[in-house]
Amino acid sequence: MRKIAVTFLLFSLLLPMWAQTGTQEEQDQDLKERTLSLDLRTATYFELAAWCDRLGLSIRGGRSELQHRLEEFHGLESVQAPVPETRESDIEIESADQSRYYTLDDPVEKYLQLLGDVTLVMYDEESGSTHRITSDRIIYNQTINSITASGNLVYVLEQTDSAESFTGESLTVSLDDWKGIFIQGTSQADRTIAEKELTFFYTGNTIYRLADDSVILKGGKITSSRPEDPYYHIDADHIWVLGPGEWALSNAALYVGRVPLFYFPFFFHPGNELIFHPSIGYRDVEGFYAQTSI
């Protein structure tokens, strides 16, 4: 009778977990498709070519052909990105030591170059936000409506209820949809955690900001401690910020000082319903522990 009771108890404990397997698998598949699609959209031509070569696919063609070939291989729906509507934005040059206009013949493109203590302010009428860029050099491509800045770069995005600042080596941003790429970038943002105002620092070898406001950090680091030699931080190969409160980590490690304490092969924090959420900590009796909501 004791064996029967133990077997019944184990079955009653495992049955809810089996019932949730389908839902968890569906969520994992949805997350895989979303993150893989973002990786394909932000990868360079050479990264896509190397990706195809590893899978034994042809590496002929341009970037869009390589991306389409990989989407077909992974069974992803190939969606042509919609052409963004041109936003009404005012550009004001607050300061610049030098400026010059020039034109390229092949392809035909018109440029404005600003040099020396440059400050550029852009006002986005649609969202009511203000974009301020300070750097040593700014090149404005009038033909495709984009800006490239480099040298002592500081970029501040001011919105009605928040402000974020970025620093880095270089920045390229489209003024049509504010999609941009940071090289060796660091972002600073204030967040309220448990009714406390904390300043988080995000650093990445490359930071992509997409038109749908998704952010991808490659070679990323997160901390709310001091940015230089922090008391703790999380290092990850990839960090995806997919929506409000929704983010994911890939190949990540938690460091206290310079000592790695915990490794995350993959972690996903959903923005809406929370089905599986690990809790990690330390107790005097049990020692280090890991629990889940299941």
pLDDT of the residue at 25: 59
pLDDT of the residue at 58: 84
Give tens-digit pLDDT for 257-275: 889 988 989 888 775 544 4
Closest CA to 264 of 288, 236, 283: 236
pLDDT of the residue at 18: 41
User: Residue 256 corresponds to which amino acid?
Assistant: V
Closest CA to 180 of 205, 148, 219: 148
248 or 63: whose pLDDT is higher?
248
Closest CA to 85 of 180, 181, 182, 174: 174
For the chain, the residue count is 294
User: Among 162-166, 246-250, 288-292, where is mean pLDDT lowest?
Assistant: 288-292
Q: Does 6 score more than 90 pLDDT? A: no
CA 201 to chain centre: 13
Report the chain's mean pLDDT, rounded to a whole number: 76
Closest CA to 151 of 122, 179, 116: 116
Confidence of residue 237 (pLDDT cuts 50, 70, 90): very high
Name 23's Cβ contacts closer than 8 Å, sequence gap at least 6.
275
Name 22's Cβ contacts closer than 8 Å, sequence gap at least 6.
none
Give percent of the chain above pLDDT 70. 72
Cα end-to-end span (Å), the chain: 28
Query: Alpha-carbon distance 277 to 268, whole Å?
Result: 8
Radius of gyration of the chain (CA): 24
Summarize the confidence of residues 212-238 as an average pLDDT. 85
Report CA-CA distances (Å) from 149 to 128, 134, 135, 213.
23, 8, 6, 21
Confidence of residue 85 (pLDDT cuts 50, 70, 90): very low
pLDDT of the residue at 12: 46
